[in-house]
């Protein structure tokens, strides 16, 4: 009996997993593939290898990558172990990459069927909840979390036990537990992966949290752009209710808790906890003044606790394995593991979960396999638009809240964008600022107007219209916005600019004073020319130019009309003789 | 008591009650912390960041509106760090705040006279107030209104539709009005300071400076070389433009304030030294009295004279010495005065030589046209190169013919000679009116410019000698128009005042935001914005025709009638922001010396929205403090306004982005009261909206028995609006906007209605000058049935059979009105909901024979309205001049 499991996270589906699944299914139905059982699982984090198919024999798991319909047919035709099928085997290097990770939050992702509670239970699921409900007091639970050293994974890294304890100790009968699954950072998908691939893990973590603070109602605020996550979580909630893990008198313990989902309207700022609460209450998503903190006055002005998906996803493991097991991993300051979404100019991107204390170099080179096209590493942006960049000479910084903070970047929620020599740092800062400026809720003056003015200054710098004094003005605005904004969005928005100014100030100066873009990216500051000596007159460039800016006859050196050129770079990409240069 | 918290603010020990914010505690202790998004009427929001303060030992600045006072806090409210943070926050707000704080006319006036203000007051028939407003700046409106080349009108936006508002003539109108009623307007004079100032020169600059210095309580003496005061107004401007009687009357008013006038006294070096010793300060405002020369051959021949010398001789009634054929050289206003005076003085042929064309002439176009009508012959493109003479006596001019060349740097096309083309004109007299200079005889001790004018500091107006100040034509750049000299005199007086008080004033410190505004719109944009206004026929002031006037020096422009003045003033487009005197933003911007351009950038999409009959929104001025939105939701529960969009594009918009009057808005006006800028303004209680300085008086609303405390906002005697008094959360619509008519006369009346009605009728006949041919009477439902009957009887006696109708804020008091006022009452913490209505209902009045149909009054010329008073003492009768205001309601 073979068990065939197709990876159907959003990434797998995007890569064509559904087609593979359907083909396999029809082959099984037609009796071509015999003695097989077909199921799905979530994302294992190696998105560049999708669609991934795992085949479980009685005693081993064989992983096939970048599969297609052909693979299904070959499997049916030639059988497991055949040369043709083995061509799809996962490369050893990728297996090693997985081995270098430590998976706690993602422990079931890609391994179990997220649509079946039985799979979760078989993997030890709901044992932690059982343990908690059979005799642990609220304080006992909070204490285990305290020992574990778990800190919020949503960005700020605040000790989880402290928030739980504050919510528990707040007077009042009616309390709420909220899960923040708004995940608005561009490029981040840690939370989506957890919900899509292991929804019961989240539910169990939340129930333990709800028990600890004394909440009878829990809400998951998911961004509406995550339809698959919403479907799987809805399904999981139903299953858990049917099993008596959710609802009245859970497992006969007397503890009751309802859970529901709220689809968020998709504004980045709604991920900020107080804005999220406003949004839950049906108001415009705008942050509230703190204090009072949600633990004192949150949802409907009742004591509330908000945690991130990944935070909750660690909880069942911690309860099952003990706080010490978690805190034994990591550094003095940061315990356990952290999930990152590794993207950008990296060879092997994807979702990775690593123990705290690893260096950036290890993550980027050992797990991510280094820089695409073997270009020069330039910097890594941590924490998305709220974070900062870390340059090459700080690559040995270890992953730890304090150490990362000291560079000017942040741990953040897990975005890790790798940049190479061709990235213009000014333009990068502009890109992130464009995001925050648009996403500002518009409430406070420094954030709404300050980010806009910064964006305008950055835009004029990359357009070659920068003026002396612009850097100083940027710095002044950065400080005013950091100091004067109400919520984290505004307070952190200047980080990309501050860190690039700190590590790459010369790039700003080159744009402003010399009207040059050192990375040769800013269109207003570059021009394309053909080196006559190298040009063989193959006409390829001229044929590819979308605006017919290139002229020249066959076998004669070509020329680019700078007036017409729109600097799309197609000619350079197509030239086989390296005859086109950027000035 | 553990409820009491001790803390320090700016070093001062203060106490607070638990739960109070730092902002509240500071306010209680008279410490003003600026704030834009705070109001005690709504929940704390914390958006603007202007209220930040620093606390010792705290690393971050705190928002004082949102931070609770805590034991032992040590707060500073104006540290450099705080100031910097506020400044940036304000500059950011200003970078996306667009509007004309002040109108273009005011900005164009060198003396900063409040054109829009007095024009608007005239439009509302408030002539006295208009006069006061002008006189706040300078004492010579009747004179200047006649002669000013009015830079204000050049900038007036009305010209995009038809013609500029005739601002100068309107100024003349109020000036003349004031002279007619001698009683009016001796300005308030501060208590004597014991300081003495000598002003040398009794021209517009000297007179204006003396006027201001006197108002400040200083003893002032003006010394003048001529037999009468007025300077160039009297000796440089011919009487047909500005009669001596007008100048004399305005000078007299200054004398009446206690300014000493000493004429026929030329100040020489010795006398100057005496003045310096005898007075605490000296102001030199001696003007520019020498005619410039052309430096061409023959200029010293007999029969050649300077333009102002000629005019002065005429003014002194001396023999002018001109012949039958006269040429005036020059193209400015003095040249026009000279040639037109020459015509009047009996010359038979009068020429004006000007080296460019008519278009380039600096003189007023009207002057040129009028001179031509009077027979002056213009020789354009003619440049005198030699004065021909026989036996030392003028016999003609040789002039080089010119043509216009390429435009020069200033854009003016400069004249170039046409090779070999000359013209010779035979003449008896040549008057050179090409410019004036100063001979600072007797003042050699002062540092002079190369031109010979006195050097005066541009900021302090002090000369090189301590305690000696100078302004006007005699200083720096030299001669210019009178109103510029007056502008300098206003500043110089302020500077002298500071000097006398021991300080040194620098005018760099004056608020730059007073003059802040957006880019001037194009005519096209102006027309678009005012598409509801059609061009109207220009009101031409009555005047004598050329044949009549050219034989004498009598004034030939006869001034506007009241009706003309009101019609002319009503054309004003109300360019300047109505919130100028209340706007927090401009106030703070000035206080923190903000620089608008520093953080300039793009501006959000915005426009003006005429929301309903009571409220106007100008979204370009919104700074998104959110007060309106929050007040509407939290206080009224209407949620008629909301925030839309994100980031920079966030705006305030009525619900569902419809028009406000399609929303649940009840027009309570709370949002308008709270808006810290001019983004929300109320339509005025007067007919025409005018931004004016305000005074506030506590009063009680009389629309219903709840008696909400109100604040009546006035400018002088003009009612501007009614707002909730401090501590009162909100008024109902009636209380806020009910009192909205353009002219209320209040009469202490008690219960003797007959006497009151008679008194008011007499008053109308005697002073208000209204047409009483078709009166109507409005009676408020606030009266009892008996009162209503008594009132009707009294009116019948005084006015005959008149239409009578009900009035309550122009409306019939309905159940809805009652509900609104009760709602306002509840918000203000009163639990008694009024169920007994003071007086009778509309139905009850109908029984007493009072119709509820306001149409009965439509054709009336005047309405007496009973019961709509705005303060407690004068339970009153109000006269409503223009019945059509009721159509508004
Ligand atoms: C602009 C902004 C966006 C945020 N977005 C998210 C988000 O998408 N998901 C999240 O878990 N936390 C987000 N946060 C952090 C939350 O405010 C909050 O700190 C977090 O949900 C707490 O959970 P934790 O303690 O488990 O990290 C955001 C914060 C800010 C200021
Ligand atoms: S910092 Fe920005 S996003 Fe946060 S409350 Fe202020 S305006 Fe809104
Ligand atoms: S229209 Fe009125 S406010 Fe505008 S410039 Fe003319 S007079 Fe001044
Ligand atoms: S319109 Fe509303 S949000 Fe805008 S400035 Fe006025 S009160 Fe504030
Ligand atoms: S933030 Fe305090 S008044 Fe605006």
pLDDT, mean over chain A: 95
Q: pLDDT: is B703 or B727 the higher one?
A: B727
**Which residue on chain A is closest to B87 by alpha carbon?**
A480
Check pocket membership of B46 for ligand 5, CB cut-off 6 A. Answer: yes
Inter-chain CB proximity B650 and A480 less than 8 Å: no
Q: Span A307-313, mean pLDDT?
A: 98
Q: pLDDT: is B711 or B398 the higher one?
A: B398
Q: Span A497-514, mean pLDDT?
A: 97
First CA to last CA across chain B, in angstroms?
55
- Report the separation in Å between the CA atom of B24 and the middle of ligand 5, taken as the mean of its atom positions: 12
- Report the separation in Å between the CA atom of A225 and the middle of ligand 5, taken as the mean of its atom positions: 35
What class has domain B603-682?
alpha beta
CA B340 remoteness from chain centre? 33
The most confident of the ranges A190-199, B517-526, B878-887 is A190-199
Which of B50, B95, B647 minimises the CB distance to A442? B647
Phi then psi dihedrals of residue A148, to 5 deg: -65, -25
- Coil, strand or helix at B54: strand
Tally A–B CB contacts below 8 A.
95
Q: Are strands A388-391 and B393-407 parallel, antiparallel or unpaired?
A: unpaired
Q: Does A63 have pLDDT greater than 50?
A: yes
Q: Is the dihedral of CA A369, A373, A376, A378 positive or negative?
A: negative
Q: Is the dihedral of CA B54, B57, B63, B64 positive or negative?
A: negative
pLDDT at B550: 92
Residues 6+ away with beta carbon under 8 Å from A285: A265, A267, A269, A270, A275, A276, A278, A279, A441
- Report the separation in Å between the CA atom of B851 and the middle of ligand 2, taken as the mean of its atom positions: 57
Atom of ligand 1 nearest to the CA of A311: 26
Tokens of B712: 């009546």
Q: Span B747-760, mean pLDDT?
A: 67
Measured between beta carbons, the chain B residues lying within 8 angstroms of A439 are 646-647
Continuous segment of H or E residues that includes residue A164: helix A160-169
Distance CA B109, CA B464 (A): 28
Residue B886 pLDDT class (50, 70, 90 cuts): very low
Contact yes or no for A421/A519 (Cβ under 8 A): yes
CATH 3.40.50.300 fits B291-435, yes or no: no
Q: pLDDT: is B177 or B806 the higher one?
A: B177
Confirm or reject contact between B639 and chain A (CB < 8 A). no
Note if the bond before A51 is cis, omega within 30 degrees.
yes
User: Listing from the earlier edge strand, what are the strands of the sheet with B413-426?
Assistant: B382-390, B393-407, B413-426
Using alpha carbons only, give the angle B484, B488, B492 rounded to the nearest 5 degrees.
170
Torsion of CA A154, A155, A158, A160, to 10 degrees: 20
CATH 3.90.1150.10 fits B196-289+438-500, yes or no: no
Distance CA B570, CA B166 (A): 11
Contact yes or no for A395/A359 (Cβ under 8 A): yes
Residue B700 pLDDT class (50, 70, 90 cuts): low
Q: Identify the weakest region by mean pLDDT among B58-62, B115-119, B662-666.
A: B662-666
Q: Does B835 have pLDDT greater than 50?
A: no
Inter-chain CB proximity A441 and B47 less than 8 Å: no
Read out DSSP for B643-689? EESSGGG-EEEEGGG--GGGTT-----HHHHH-SSTTEEEPPSSSS-
Distance CA A329, CA A334 (A): 9
Residue to mutate among B23, B92, B622, B625, with most A CBs inside 10 A, is B92
Tokens of A11: 């990434």
Of B506, B450, B455, B457, nearest in space to B476 by CA: B455
Distance CA A269, CA A250 (A): 35
Check pocket membership of A271 for ligand 1, CB cut-off 6 A. Answer: yes
Residue B841 pLDDT class (50, 70, 90 cuts): low
Distance CA A27, CA A333 (A): 53
pLDDT at A369: 92
pLDDT at B697: 77
Residue B825 pLDDT class (50, 70, 90 cuts): low
Residue to mutate among A297, A443, A450, A476, with most B CBs inside 10 A, is A443
Q: Does B870 have pLDDT greater than 80?
A: no
Measured between beta carbons, the chain B residues lying within 8 angstroms of A267 are 646
Residue A405 pLDDT class (50, 70, 90 cuts): very high
pLDDT at B510: 45
Of A130, A128, A226, nearest in space to A179 by CA: A226
If you take atom 2 of ligand 4, which residue's CA is the nearest one? B628
Q: Does B558 have pLDDT greater than 70?
A: yes
pLDDT tens for each residue of A413-468: 999 999 999 999 999 999 999 999 999 999 999 999 999 999 999 999 999 999 99
DSSP 8-state secondary structure symbol assigned to residue B620: G
pLDDT at B411: 77
Q: Span B77-89, mean pLDDT?
A: 95
Which of B46, B624, B647 minimises the CB distance to A486? B46
Say if residue B111 is exposed, middle or buried (CB neighbours under 10 Å; 0-12, 13-18, 19+). Answer: buried
Of B417, B380, B435, B400, nearest in space to B297 by CA: B400
Residues 6+ away with beta carbon under 8 Å from A29: none
CATH 3.10.20.740 fits B4-78, yes or no: yes
Which of B89, B624, B626 minimises the CB distance to A446? B89
- Report the separation in Å between the CA atom of A307 and the middle of ligand 1, taken as the mean of its atom positions: 8
Inter-chain CB proximity A289 and B44 less than 8 Å: yes
Say if residue B59 is exposed, middle or buried (CB neighbours under 10 Å; 0-12, 13-18, 19+). Answer: exposed
Distance CA A256, CA B694 (A): 63
Residues 6+ away with beta carbon under 8 Å from B298: B304, B386, B387, B388, B389, B394
Q: Does A496 have pLDDT greater than 90?
A: yes
- Coil, strand or helix at B483: helix
Atom of ligand 4 nearest to the CA of B675: 7
DSSP 8-state secondary structure symbol assigned to residue B832: P
Note if the bond before A291 is cis, omega within 30 degrees.
yes
Q: Does A60 have pLDDT greater than 50?
A: yes
Tokens of B140: 């010579």
To the nearest whole Å, the CA of A463 is away from the closest chain B CA by: 16
pLDDT tens for each residue of B407-420: 877 777 888 999 99
**Percent of chain A, pLDDT > 90?**
92
Q: Does A497 have pLDDT greater than 50?
A: yes
Inter-chain CB proximity B648 and A452 less than 8 Å: yes
Q: Does B812 have pLDDT greater than 80?
A: no
Residue B340 pLDDT class (50, 70, 90 cuts): very high
Inter-chain CB proximity B89 and A267 less than 8 Å: no
Q: Span A474-491, mean pLDDT?
A: 95
Q: Do domains B4-78 and B603-682 have the same CATH topology?
A: no
pLDDT at B515: 47
Surface of A (246-285) touching B: CB under 8 A:
267, 269, 284
DSSP 8-state secondary structure symbol assigned to residue B512: G
- Report the separation in Å between the CA atom of A95 and the middle of ligand 5, taken as the mean of its atom positions: 56
Distance CA B262, CA B265 (A): 7
pLDDT tens for each residue of B432-464: 999 999 988 899 999 999 989 999 998 889 999
Confirm or reject contact between B66 and chain A (CB < 8 A). yes
Check pocket membership of B628 for ligand 4, CB cut-off 6 A. Answer: yes
Residue B662 pLDDT class (50, 70, 90 cuts): confident
Q: Which residues of B357-367 are buried (b: 16+ CB within 10 A; e: fewer)?
A: beebbebbeeb
Q: Does B876 have pLDDT greater than 70?
A: no
Inter-chain CB proximity A448 and B648 less than 8 Å: yes
Residue B182 pLDDT class (50, 70, 90 cuts): low
Q: Does A235 have pLDDT greater than 90?
A: yes
Distance CA B246, CA B240 (A): 12
pLDDT at B776: 78
Measured between beta carbons, the chain B residues lying within 8 angstroms of A486 are 46-47
Read out DSSP for B383-395? EEEEEEEETTEEE
What distances in angstroms separate CA B631 from CA A126, B526, B792, B839, one per listed residue?
A: 49, 33, 43, 32
- Coil, strand or helix at A526: coil
Distance CA B41, CA B697 (A): 21
Lining ligand 2 with CB less than 6 A are A 269, 286-287, 440-444, 447-448, 485-487, 489-490
Surface of B (77-96) touching A: CB under 8 A:
85, 88-89, 92-93, 95-96
HSE, side-chain direction, 13 A CA sphere, residue A48: 17
Q: pLDDT: is B512 or A444 the higher one?
A: A444
pLDDT at B703: 59
Q: Span B251-255, mean pLDDT?
A: 95
Confirm or reject contact between A483 and chain B (CB < 8 A). yes
The model's pTM is 0.86
DSSP 8-state secondary structure symbol assigned to residue A366: I
Confirm or reject contact between B679 and chain A (CB < 8 A). no
Measured between beta carbons, the chain A residues lying within 8 angstroms of B646 are 267, 269, 438-442
DSSP 8-state secondary structure symbol assigned to residue B162: S
**Every domain of chain B and the residues it spans:** 4-78, 104-185+523-570, 196-289+438-500, 291-435, 603-682, 695-888
Q: Does A483 have pLDDT greater than 60?
A: yes
Using alpha carbons only, give the angle B748, B753, B755 rounded to the nearest 5 degrees.
75
Distance CA B785, CA A533 (A): 108
Residue to mutate among A484, A485, A490, with most B CBs inside 10 A, is A484
What class has domain B104-185+523-570?
mainly alpha
Lining ligand 3 with CB less than 6 A are B 103-105, 115-116, 119, 156-158, 165, 167, 572-573, 575-576
Q: Does A342 have pLDDT greater than 60?
A: yes
Tokens of A173: 């009968």
Inter-chain CB proximity B46 and A449 less than 8 Å: no
HSE, side-chain direction, 13 A CA sphere, residue B432: 25
Q: Are strands B862-866 and B775-780 parallel, antiparallel or unpaired?
A: parallel
Check pocket membership of B674 for ligand 4, CB cut-off 6 A. Answer: yes
Residues 6+ away with beta carbon under 8 Å from B847: B785
Continuous segment of H or E residues that includes residue B495: helix B482-500
Domains of chain A: 2-92 (3.40.30.10), 117-326 (3.40.50.11540), 337-420 (3.10.20.600), 425-514 (1.20.1440.230), 527-582 (3.30.70.20)
To the nearest whole Å, the CA of A275 is away from the closest chain B CA by: 13
Read out DSSP for A201-238? HHHHHHHHHHHHHT-SEEEEEEETT-HHHHHHHHHHHH
Residue B821 pLDDT class (50, 70, 90 cuts): low
Q: Are strands B608-610 and B290-291 parallel, antiparallel or unpaired?
A: unpaired
Atom of ligand 3 nearest to the CA of B103: 3
Inter-chain CB proximity A442 and B650 less than 8 Å: yes
Check pocket membership of A294 for ligand 1, CB cut-off 6 A. Answer: no
pLDDT tens for each residue of B281-336: 999 999 999 999 889 999 999 999 999 999 999 999 998 889 999 999 999 999 99
Check pocket membership of B65 for ligand 5, CB cut-off 6 A. Answer: yes
- Report the separation in Å between the CA atom of A214 and the middle of ligand 1, taken as the mean of its atom positions: 22
């Amino acid at each position: 009996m073979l068990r065939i499991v197709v990876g159907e996270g959003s990434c797998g589906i995007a890569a064509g997993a559904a087609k593979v699944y359907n083909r396999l299914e029809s082959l099984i139905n037609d009796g071509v593939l015999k003695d097989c059982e077909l199921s799905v699982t979530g994302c294992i984090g190696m998105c560049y290898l999708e669609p991934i198919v795992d085949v479980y024999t009685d005693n081993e798991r064989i992983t096939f990558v970048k599969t297609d319909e052909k693979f299904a047919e070959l499997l049916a035709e030639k059988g497991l172990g055949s040369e043709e099928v083995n061509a799809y085997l996962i490369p050893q290097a990728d297996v090693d990459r997985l081995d270098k990770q430590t998976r706690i939050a993602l422990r079931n992702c890609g391994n179990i069927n997220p649509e079946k509670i039985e799979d979760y239970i078989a993997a030890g699921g709901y044992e932690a909840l059982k343990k908690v409900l059979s005799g642990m007091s609220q304080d006992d639970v909070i204490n285990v979390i305290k020992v574990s050293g778990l800190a919020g994974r949503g960005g700020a890294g605040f000790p989880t036990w402290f928030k739980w304890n504050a919510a528990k100790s707040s007077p009042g009968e009616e309390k709420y537990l909220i899960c923040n699954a708004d995940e608005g950072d561009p490029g981040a998908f840690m939370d989506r992966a957890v919900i899509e691939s292991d929804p019961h893990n989240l539910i169990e973590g939340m129930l333990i949290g709800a028990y600890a603070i004394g909440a009878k109602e829990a809400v998951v605020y998911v961004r509406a752009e995550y339809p698959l996550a919403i479907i799987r979580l809805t399904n999981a909630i139903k299953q858990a209710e049917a099993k008596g893990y959710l609802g009245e008198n859970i497992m006969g313990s007397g503890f009751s808790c309802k859970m529901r989902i709220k689809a968020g309207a998709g504004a980045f700022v709604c991920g900020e906890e107080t804005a999220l609460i406003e949004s839950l209450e049906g108001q415009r998503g705008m942050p509230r003044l703190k204090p009072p903190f949600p633990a004192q006055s949150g949802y409907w002005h009742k004591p509330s606790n908000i945690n991130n998906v990944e935070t909750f996803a660690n909880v069942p493991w911690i309860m099952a394995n003990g706080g010490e097991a978690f805190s034994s991993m990591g550094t003095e300051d940061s315990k356990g593991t952290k999930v990152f979404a590794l993207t950008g100019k990296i060879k092997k991107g994807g979702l990775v979960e690593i123990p705290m204390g690893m260096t950036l170099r290890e993550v980027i080179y050992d797990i991510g396999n280094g820089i695409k096209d073997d270009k020069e590493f330039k910097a890594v942006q941590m924490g998305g638009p709220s974070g900062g960049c870390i340059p090459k000479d700080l690559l040995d910084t270890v992953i730890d809240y304090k150490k990362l903070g000291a560079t000017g970047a942040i741990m953040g929620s897990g975005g890790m964008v790798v940049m190479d020599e061709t990235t213009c740092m000014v333009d990068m800062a502009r890109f992130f600022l464009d995001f925050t400026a648009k996403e500002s809720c518009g409430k406070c003056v420094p954030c709404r107007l300050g980010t806009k003015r910064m964006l305008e200054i950055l835009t004029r710098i990359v357009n070659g219209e920068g003026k002396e004094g612009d850097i100083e003005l940027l710095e002044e605005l950065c400080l005013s916005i950091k100091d004067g904004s109400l919520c984290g969005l505004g307070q952190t928005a200047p980080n990309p600019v501050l860190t690039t100014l700190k590590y790459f100030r010369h790039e700003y100066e080159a744009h402003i004073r010399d009207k040059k873009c050192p990375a040769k990216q800013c269109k207003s500051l570059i021009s394309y020319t053909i080196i006559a000596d190298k040009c063989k007159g193959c006409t390829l460039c001229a044929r590819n130019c979308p605006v017919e800016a290139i002229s020249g006859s066959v076998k004669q050196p070509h020329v680019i009309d700078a007036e017409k050129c729109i600097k799309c770079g197609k000619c350079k990409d197509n030239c086989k003789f390296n005859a086109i240069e950027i000035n | 008591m553990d409820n009491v918290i001790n803390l320090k603010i700016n070093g001062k020990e203060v106490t607070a009650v638990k739960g109070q914010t730092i902002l509240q505690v500071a306010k209680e202790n008279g410490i003003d912390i600026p704030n834009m998004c705070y109001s005690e009427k709504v929940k704390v929001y914390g958006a603007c960041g202007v209220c930040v303060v620093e606390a010792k030992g705290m690393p971050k600045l705190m928002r004082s509106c949102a931070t609770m006072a805590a034991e032992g806090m040590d707060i500073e409210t104006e540290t450099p760090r705080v100031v910097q943070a506020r400044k940036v926050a304000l500059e950011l707000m200003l970078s996306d705040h667009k509007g004309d704080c002040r109108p273009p006319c005011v900005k164009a006036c060198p003396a900063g006279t409040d054109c829009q203000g007095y024009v608007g007051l005239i439009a509302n028939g408030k002539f006295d107030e208009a006069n006061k407003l002008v006189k706040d700046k300078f004492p010579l409106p009747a004179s200047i209104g006649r002669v000013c080349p009015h830079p204000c009108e050049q900038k007036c936006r009305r010209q995009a539709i038809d013609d500029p508002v005739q601002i100068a003539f309107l100024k003349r109108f109020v000036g003349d009005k004031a002279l007619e009623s001698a009683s009016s307007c001796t300005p308030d004079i501060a208590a004597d300071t014991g300081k003495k100032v000598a002003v040398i020169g009794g021209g517009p600059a000297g007179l204006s400076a003396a006027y201001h210095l006197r108002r400040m309580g200083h003893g002032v003496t003006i010394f003048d070389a001529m037999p009468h005061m007025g300077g160039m107004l009297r000796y440089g401007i011919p009487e047909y433009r500005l009669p001596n009687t007008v100048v004399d009357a305005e000078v007299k008013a200054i004398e009446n304030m206690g300014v000493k006038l000493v004429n026929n006294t030329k100040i020489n070096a010795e006398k100057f030294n005496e003045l310096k010793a005898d007075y605490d300060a000296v102001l030199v405002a001696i003007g520019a009295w020498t005619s410039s020369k052309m430096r061409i051959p023959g200029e010293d021949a007999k029969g050649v004279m300077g333009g102002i010398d000629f005019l002065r001789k005429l003014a002194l009634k001396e023999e002018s010495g001109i012949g039958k054929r006269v040429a005036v050289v020059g193209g400015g206003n003095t040249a026009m005065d000279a040639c037109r005076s020459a015509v009047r003085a009996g010359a038979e042929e009068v020429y004006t030589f000007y080296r460019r064309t008519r278009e380039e002439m600096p003189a007023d176009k009207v002057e040129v046209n009028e001179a031509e009508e009077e027979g002056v012959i213009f020789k354009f493109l003619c440049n005198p190169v030699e004065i021909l003479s026989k036996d030392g006596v003028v016999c003609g001019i040789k002039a080089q013919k010119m043509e216009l060349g390429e435009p020069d740097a200033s854009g003016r096309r400069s004249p170039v000679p046409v090779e070999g083309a000359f013209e010779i004109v035979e003449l008896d007299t040549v008057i050179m009116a090409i410019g004036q200079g100063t001979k600072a005889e007797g003042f050699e001790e002062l540092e002079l410019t190369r031109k010979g004018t006195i050097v005066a500091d541009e900021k302090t107006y002090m000369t090189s000698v301590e305690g000696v100040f100078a302004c006007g034509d005699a200083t720096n750049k030299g001669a210019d128009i009178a109103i510029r000299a007056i502008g300098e005199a206003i500043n110089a007086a302020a500077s002298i005042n500071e000097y006398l008080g021991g300080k040194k004033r620098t005018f760099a410190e004056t608020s730059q935001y007073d003059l802040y505004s957006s880019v001037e719109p194009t005519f096209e944009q102006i027309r678009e914005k005012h598409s509801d206004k059609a061009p109207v026929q220009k009101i031409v002031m009555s005047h004598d025709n050329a044949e009549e006037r050219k034989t004498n020096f009598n004034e030939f422009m006869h001034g506007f009638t009241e009706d003309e003045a009101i019609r002319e003033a009503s054309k004003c487009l109300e360019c300047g922001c109505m919130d100028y005197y209340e706007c927090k933003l401009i106030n703070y911007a000035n206080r923190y010396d903000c620089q608008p351009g520093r953080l300039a950038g793009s501006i959000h999409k915005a426009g003006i929205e005429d929301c309903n009959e009571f409220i106007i929104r100008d979204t370009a001025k919104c700074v998104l403090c959110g007060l309106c939105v929050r007040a509407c939701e939290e206080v009224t529960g209407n949620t008629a306004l909301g925030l839309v969009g994100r980031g920079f594009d966030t705006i305030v918009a009525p619900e569902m982005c419809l028009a406000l009057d399609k929303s649940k808005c009840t027009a309570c006006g709370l949002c308008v009261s709270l808006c810290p800028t001019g983004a929300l303004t109320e339509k005025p209680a007067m007919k025409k909206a005018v931004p004016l300085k305000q005074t506030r008086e506590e009063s009680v609303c009389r629309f219903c028995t709840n008696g909400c405390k109100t604040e009546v906002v006035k400018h002088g005697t003009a009612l501007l609006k009614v707002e909730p008094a401090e501590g009162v959360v909100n008024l109902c619509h009636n209380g806020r906007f009910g009192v909205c008519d353009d002219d209320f006369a209040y009469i202490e009346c008690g219960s003797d209605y007959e006497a009151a009605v008679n008194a008011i009728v007499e008053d109308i006949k005697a002073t208000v000058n209204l047409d009483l041919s078709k009166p109507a009477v409005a009676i408020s439902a606030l009266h009892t049935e008996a009162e209503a009957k008594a009132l009707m009887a009294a009116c019948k006696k005084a006015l005959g059979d008149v239409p009578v109708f009900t009035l309550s804020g122009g409306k019939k008091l309905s159940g809805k009105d009652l509900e609104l006022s009760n709602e306002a009452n509840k918000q203000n913490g009163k639990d008694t909901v009024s169920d007994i209505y003071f007086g009778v209902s509309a139905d009850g009045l109908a029984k007493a024979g009072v119709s509820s149909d306001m149409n009965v009054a439509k054709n009336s010329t005047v309405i007496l309205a009973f019961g709509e008073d705005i303060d407690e003492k004068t339970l009153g009768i109000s006269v409503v001049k223009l019945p059509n205001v009721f159509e508004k309601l």
